[in-house]
Amino acid sequence: MNGLFLGVDTSNYTTSVSCVSNEGIVFERRTMLSVPLGNRGLRQSDAVFQHVRNLPPLIEAILSSVDRNTIQAVAVSAKPTAAEESYMPVFLAGKLAAVSIASSFDIPIFETTHQAGHVRAALLGQEEQFSEGLFLAMHLSGGTTDLLLVRRENGLLGDITRIGGCDDLHAGQFVDRVGVRLGLPFPSGVSLELLANAAQDRSIKLPANVRGLNCSFSGQESQCQRLIDSGADREAVAYAVYDCMARTFTKLLTNAFAETGVKKALLSGGVSGSLLLRTLLRERLEQELFYAQNGLSSDNAVGTALLARDFYQKQSR
């Protein structure tokens, strides 16, 4: 089946659009939201304003780069996760844009979640590894640290069920709060990882607070703040953050593998894109972990566009 499929995603800190075909990614572009130096985030109203400003040039760029007559469907991330109470105003900006596109082209629109988009993007190129049945997934970002049980049915992404995760501070918040305290820009992942890789002193051990399938990072973040206040080496503190996350996720995944009997895990979200974290996890876990392709761990609309293709083809059967 020939045709193009569009995706729109407006997360907390990235405006994203994408187009895919049966062969793969045709167009992909995103714009990071601007966060003033020293700030640890944006108010939702400010983020919505930036999305509204970013979307027109992105949509113009995608529509001028593809054959509009072959666009079959559009999907949009309408909320963060599948949980009933899940809601953030930022996703309304993307929904408005997607509805406008669908109405203009008289094509179907499918609503999905930001989390499903992350999982679907991470599956790209690895569909055969996760062909049918259940697998574990982790969504690691500034707004989510979720341990998930995901079902694949008839080659499509099925139910995504949260079975554990972080009780307080998310992994990305842990990284960003320590990074901003060290004078790094927000989001701080790339800069903090550079500091961590330069660490000569790797002796600081923050506790890996895990209880079954749940974890916590708030105490460790407070400990890092005290270390920084006491003059601890910046690189050593940065490395301690990644070492702590690796030990925490190792325990979580080990417990989840044992409890569910599932053999494979797929990691998505911006935090999972860290090469240092991947190395530390590989050293600690016997099971093979799978990750998104380069550039698809962080927020993007590729997974959303792939879901548009999946939903459309399922509907057309």
Tens digit of each residue's pLDDT (9 = 90 or more) over 12-57: 999 999 999 999 999 999 999 999 999 999 999 999 999 999 999 9
Q: What pLDDT is stored for residue 132 in this prediction?
A: 84
CB 200 within 8 A of CB 154: no
Domains in the chain and their CATH numbers? 4-121+296-316 (3.30.420.40), 171-291 (3.30.420.40)
In this prediction, residue 79 has a pLDDT band, given cuts at 50, 70 and 90, of very high
Q: Answer yes or no: is pLDDT of 66 > 60.
A: yes
Query: How many other CB atoms are found less than 10 A from the CB of residue 38?
Result: 11
pTM for the predicted model, two decimal places: 0.96
Contact status, residue 14 vs residue 33, Cβ threshold 8 Å: yes
Average pLDDT along the chain: 96
Query: Cis peptide before 187, with omega less than 30 degrees from 0?
Result: yes
What integer pLDDT is reported at residue 74 of this predicted model? 98
Q: Can you give the pLDDT at residue 282?
A: 97
Say which amino acid occupies 165.
G
**pLDDT at res. 182:** 97
pLDDT value at position 123? 97
Residue 311: predicted pLDDT: 96
* Residue type for position 252: L
pLDDT, tens digit, for every residue of 91-137? 999 999 999 999 999 999 999 999 999 999 999 999 999 988 999 99
Q: Identify the three-state secondary structure at position 77.
A: strand
CB contact set of 158 (below 8 Å; sequence gap of 6+):
150, 151, 152
C-beta separation of 157 from 116 below 8 A: yes
